[in-house]
A and B are shown apart, each in its own frame.
Chain A
Amino acid sequence: MTDTAWIDTALTSARPQAVGALLRYFRDLDTAEEAFQNASLRALKSWPQNGPPRDPAAWLIMVGRNVAIDDIRRRRKLKPLPEDEAISDLDDAEEQIAERLDGSHYRDDILRLLFICCHPELPATQQIALALRIVSGLTVKQIARAFLISEAAMEQRITRAKARVADAGVPFETPGAVERSERLSAVAAMIYLIFNEGYSAGGDTAEIRAPLCEEAIRLARLLLRLFQSEPEIMGLTALLLLQHARSAARFDASGALILLDDQDRSLWNGKMIAEGLALIDKAMRHRRSGPYQVQAAIAALHARAAKPEDTDWAQIDLLYGTLEIMQPSPVVTLNRAVAVSKVRGPEAALEMIEPLGERLSNYFHFFGVRGAFLMQLGRNDEARIAFDRAIALANTSAEAAHIRMHLDRLIRDSTPHGAKAK
């Protein structure tokens, strides 16, 4: 493991623990990041010669800490008056070295590092960018690419987010049980945001943005390793795996979205599905259900169906019913309606979504789904109106192309079967 690519990988995997510990020493994000950066540079010099250390994270924490303390000392000599804060941090750092290296803070260090990225005042896009930069260690260039914006704009976004986090102050006390579980759920939501940022990409950008999905899965697994018995973290990890397992089948060669029913299921990633299903099984044993588990269970029912017609839609309908109670939202009801259309037919489904029209009047999927139900009922003129509205609201070219395909089919079918329309 001496070539640079492998060292980079080792640095990436040690990063959350190392930066998390350095943040606890120095109580300042910039100092912690700089310390890690310096330690990484030394690793690139030392590891090829001396071989990688047994515990790269401990090595990086030690070296990073020493380099940063040297720095602070040097700066202090140059300044007429020492910075109080730097000194007290320093004393603090030296007193507790032994305690700090025993790894018992490992869990809360990483959780804290993730948690500061979830500051409620930060808009979602800044939370994600910050987490990818600080926790995952992606370069600004890589993050900018995944977000499809310029490097300069991303640099600015991250700088702004960091300033906000610094202003807010980082919570350093070891969290109590309630606080820890609040942090956990904030972090879980942030990881899900990262995933969706990649997952909601259109076919034209899906490949560029796929690393976001992979990174979210890596972070979810990391979180689950720290909190092995949290059913919702199992649920989250399973959900991400089961959704990402379908990625190779989600778009056709031209980048158009392929619906679940039409996907080539042989392209689904069996290993990811196996891991996802195993995690759902584990989570269910706890009998403490939650939104991630329910969504993962829905994804699992799709994953378990070898053919679309094998899908247990009745069970999916029930699960969406549960989700509606846990997280009432018109979008959940809309998803439920799709299951209802399979179980009880398009008439019942249409009836179910009619009351949502007002709240979802700007929601692409509402009109796509509504159009599909109307089309199934042979109400082609109304379907066309719904599809036109969907195209106007489409977020990606893939979404628009998909609806256009429905419209083409309508036009094709309505000539000979026009009489079917009521």
Chain B
Amino acid sequence: MLYAILCYNDEDFVGSWSKEQDAAVMQKLTVVQDKLAKQGRLGPVARLLPTTSATTLRKDSPPVVLDGPYAETKEQLLGFYIVDCKDLDAALEVARDLGAANPGGAYEIRPVGMLNPGSALT
């Protein structure tokens, strides 16, 4: 079963990380990812740019373009992983490992209904 692990955190907090703190988190996350990749369980991983760079298209008729992320929340969607796990417990274990490497915020674990891997990006 594929799960999406959606990463939420306070963007002000993440944006206040020093370069060293940021690098340390990324390095720890890489260790977790490498382990999953070796087991052939790691799909696409994305770290999104700040929500200030986001634009929202509301599908009214006609569609309306708005600046900023869709949801104004205390914590923001900052990235996601797609991982292959046999059940929810296994997915939670991955989330716990990622969480130990990355302080603050929350992960939403969401089963994937359909995944189109797309073409290789150049």
With A9-B18, A282-B55 as contacts: A225 and B11 at CB distance below 8 Å: yes
Cα-based distance from A5 to B50 in the complex (angstroms): 23
Q: Which residues of B contact A225 (CB under 8 A)?
A: 11-12, 51-52
Confirm or deny: B74 has a beta carbon within 8 angstroms of a beta carbon on chain A.
yes
- Asked, given contacts A6-B103, A228-B67, A229-B67, whether A274 binds B74 with beta carbons under 8 Å apart, the answer is no
A101 beta carbon closer than 8 Å to chain B: no
A274 touches B67 (CB 8 A): no
For B17, the chain A residues whose CB sits under 8 A away are 9
A414 to B31, CA, bound (A): 59
Tell me whether B53 and A13 are in contact (CB under 8 A): no
| A237 at interface by CB-CB < 8 Å | yes
Question: Contacts A222-B12, A225-B52, A279-B52: A52 and B104 contacting too (C-beta < 8 A)?
Answer: yes
Q: In the docked arrangement, what's the CA distance between A6 and B17, Å?
A: 8
**Total number of B residues with any Cβ neighbor in A under 8 Å:** 22
B122 close to A (CB within 8 Å): no
* Residues in B11-38 with C-beta less than 8 Å from chain A: 11-13, 15-18, 21
What is the 8 Å Cβ interface bit string for chain A, positions 255-288, against chain B (1 contact, 0 not)?
0000000000000000100110011001001000
Point out the residues of chain B lying under 8 angstroms from A9, CB to CB. Answer: 13, 16-18, 21
Check B49 for interface membership: any CB of A closer than 8 A: yes
A:1-45 near B, CB below 8 Å: 1, 5-6, 9-10, 12-14
User: Cβ of A221 and Cβ of B52 under 8 Å apart?
Assistant: yes
Interface of A is mostly: helix
Taking CB atoms and an 8 Å cut-off, the chain A residues in 182-233 that contact chain B are: 218, 221-222, 224-225, 228-229
- Contact present for A1 and B103 (CB under 8 Å): yes
Nearest CB on A from B114, distance (A):
28
> When the two chains form their complex, are residues A13 and B16 in contact, meaning their CB atoms are under 8 A apart?
yes
Among A10, A56, A222, A282, point to the contact of B67 (Cβ < 8 A): A282
- CB < 8 Å neighbour of A271 from B15, B49, B66: B49
Bound-state CA distance A6–B16 (Å) is 10
The closest CB in chain B to the CB of A5 belongs to B21
Chain B residues in the interface with A (C-beta under 8 A): 10-13, 15-18, 21, 49-53, 55, 65-68, 74, 103-104
Chain A residues packing against B (C-beta within 8 Å): 1, 5-6, 9-10, 12-14, 52, 54-56, 218, 221-222, 224-225, 228-229, 234, 237, 271, 274-275, 278-279, 282, 285
